[in-house]
Amino acid sequence: LENLAEAAPKEDLPDLPIDASATRELSIQAFADQPRVQYYVDFFTNRMHERFQVWLTRMPRYEGYARERLVAQGLPGDLVYLALIESGFSSSAVSRAAAVGIWQFMPATGRQYGLDQNFWVDSRRDVIAATDRALDYLQKLFGDFGDWQLALAAYNWGEGSVARALKANRAKG
């Protein structure tokens, strides 16, 4: 995953348009032709092809449970791909920022959602517990922001960061 952080496009790509209307569905097809999306499709099919194949090999172990839980909570099933990109479905994944597990919970967020972290156990690595808590967190973020693109940005970048960016944009407009 370290390579992904270095994969930022060299040229400045245009921002993705975001439909601010609240929806419980992901509008993946609407973004398929965007230059930024095409850049990452190329990245994962070329430079990261072998690593991505490992991720896809791990995916069947977890996808069924995660997708079933997503649908049961009324969330888009395609949110399962968040775990694919966050961790490559590796429960031992650790980010530079100390996010852990397939859903890459930060320590404070993990504790906030009841995932124990101590000398003996780190529940952020427990695929079932972390999946259930990640879905609770995603549901909360969608409730806060009313839009899946913003909820996913908040999951990755932090709720406060997205809220501040929205506030700054409102002040400009």
What positions carry a catalytic annotation?
86
Q: How far, in Å, CA of 101 to CA of 90, rounded?
A: 6
- Tell me how far apart the 2 most distant CA atoms of the chain are, in Å: 50
Contact assessment for residue 143 and residue 126, using Cβ atoms and an 8 Å cutoff: no
Q: Which residue has the tokens 């919970």?
A: 105
Cα separation of 110 and 134, whole Å? 9
Which of 68, 71, 66 has its CA nearest to residue 86?
A: 66
Of 103, 163, 165, 99, whose CA–CA distance to 137 is shortest? 103
Ramachandran area for residue 8 (φ above 0: left; ψ -120 to 50: alpha; else beta) = beta
Residue with tokens 């995916």: 59
